[in-house]
A = this chain, B = another copy of it.
């Protein structure tokens, strides 16, 4: 994937991908930038510019091949590299993320959940089991999982992060609203669920 793609471009490309998937299901072979623009209410010039950035060429009066454009987006966003992850914290958010079907399309495979609540250990959601946090080191070694998706309350986030680091986790996708301290070889992506929506609110003057 090209690093110069902005988050906004990535966001639009994933939306185009959703439209392309729907066209593909309906076995429609071609799609125009005008159709994508109309479905998503994104300016057509922008759509054409984005598609150009993924190196997909359209044909005059026909548009783009649905399968070629879908493939081009999947390649540039690297959907095909399998990224294996554990979800840490089997609360509502942890379970919701484990069930989020869209993740696997993007190459993110959730291999299980971890919690400390003995009442839920052993439960399964869509073939994903909830394990006890004390087993994290063993499970990381057995599965080669390097990503932890952290959905914990603030007060335990750092303590659990220390355990994840010790277990060999290298990447943390952090949904807890706290700043985690980790060694230099561990990378943290602090998720900010509301950031992009806030900007939408500002642009649309939402009240």
| CB–CB B207/A83 < 8 A | yes
| CB–CB B196/A191 < 8 A | yes
User: How many Å from the CB of A8 to the closest CB on chain B?
Assistant: 6
Whole-angstrom CA separation of A81 from B97 in the bound complex: 29
Whole-angstrom CA separation of A200 from B83 in the bound complex: 12
User: How many Å from the CB of A140 to the closest CB on chain B?
Assistant: 14
> With a CB–CB cut-off of 8 A, which chain B residues contact A121?
none
**Which of the 9-residue segments A15-23, A49-57, A64-72, A131-139 touches chain B?**
A15-23
Contact A179/B11 with A1-B202, A100-B193, A201-B78 known, Cβ cut-off 8 Å: no
Residue pairs across A and B with Cβ atoms less than 8 A apart, 21 shown, are A1-B199, A3-B202, A6-B7, A7-B11, A10-B199, A11-B190, A11-B195, A15-B190, A19-B179, A81-B206, A81-B207, A93-B100, A96-B96, A102-B177, A106-B194, A108-B197, A147-B206, A170-B206, A171-B206, A187-B204, A189-B200
Given contact pairs A39-B179, A78-B198, A102-B194, enumerate 12 new A-B contacts (beta carbons under 8 Å): A7-B196, A11-B192, A15-B192, A41-B188, A77-B198, A92-B92, A92-B96, A92-B99, A93-B100, A97-B193, A106-B194, A108-B197
- 8 pairs of A and B residues whose beta carbons are closest in the complex: A93-B96, A92-B96, A1-B202, A189-B200, A92-B95, A102-B177, A92-B92, A7-B7
